[in-house]
Structures are given as structure tokens and as C-alpha cells.
Amino acid sequence: MTRFLLMNGPNLNMLGIREPAIYGADTLESIEEEVVEYGAKLGVDIDCFQSNHEGELIDKLHEAHSEYDGVIYNPGAHTHYSYALRDAVASIDVPVVEVHISDVDNREDFRKISVFDGVCFAKIKGHGRQGYLEAVDALLDR
């Protein structure tokens, strides 16, 4: 069976509470549930992982190398500065799609930079929770 990992970085556990005008009122749990259900309908088994810790996220990406056929990844603020996570994505032979709930290119200047450019095969931004479902499609289309 095809297996994907849905991975969320720092502060995304605060969805629902965190800046709802930007990120919406939905919790990460409800988003994860929807993505898992959507995957199941398409014959994809999806595991979810969230961490606020860079090292744990790096370890999970390394594990993904042998465990998963694709990764859906919202790196949160790590997007803008974590070369260690960029290198972890580049280290594994698994396609990774970068997802952002908000439109990072139309916010503060520092959010316009993604250190994942060139190592993720696609980027989906500004589509809210729907973006995670689009990422499932993008991995399947690939």
C-alpha cells in the first residue's frame, strides 16, 4: 500500500488558537483526520507527525527514507531559516511537497524566503486546510 507522512513543524499544534484570522479556526487534529480520510479513499495510508523540535523533525525525515512513498510537510517558521531541515529533505530519496496554510509570499518579507526551494518538488500556499489535500493529489499525480 502507498504510504505518505503528513508532517507539521513548530507552532502548528496551536492551530485553532493561533492567529485564527491568518490560519483559520480549525485544529491540527481535525485537519489530520480529514487528510487521513481523504488518503484512505484514494488508497493511501497516511501517518501524521507534529513537533516543535528541529531534531525530532530531522529524525522523522530520516525514517521516512525507508518507510514512506511521499511526505506532505508544513515546516512552519523553519521554512525561512532551517538549513538542517532542508538538508534532511535533500538527504532522503522520497518526494516532499511543501505546504503553507497562509500565503507566505504576501505577508512579511522574511516569509518570502523558503530554504526548501529546490528540494521540495512542489509548494502549495495560501489555500488553507485544503492545501494539505491538494498535496496528497500532487504526490499521487507525480
Q: Select 47 or 126, whichever has its Cβ closest to ligand DQA.
A: 126
Q: Which of the residues are catalytic?
A: 23, 100
Nine-digit cell string for 19: 492567529
Of 47-55, 75-83, 86-94, 116-124, the segment contacting ligand DQA by CB under 6 A is 75-83
Q: Which of 24, 36, 111, 129 binds ligand DQA (CB under 6 A)?
A: 111
Specify the pairing of strand 44-50 against strand 96-100.
unpaired
We find the least distance from the C-beta atom of residue 77 to ligand DQA, in angstroms, to be: 4
In degrees and rounded to multiples of 5, residue 65 shows phi and psi of -50, -45
Of 31-39, 59-67, 73-81, 85-93, the segment contacting ligand DQA by CB under 6 A is 73-81
Alpha helices in 27-129 (DSSP H): 28-41, 54-67, 83-91
Contacts for 83 with CB less than 8 Å, ≥ 6 apart = 115
Nine-digit cell string for 79: 521554512
What does the binding site for ligand DQA look like in residue numbers (CB under 6 A)? 11, 74, 76-77, 79, 100-102, 104, 111
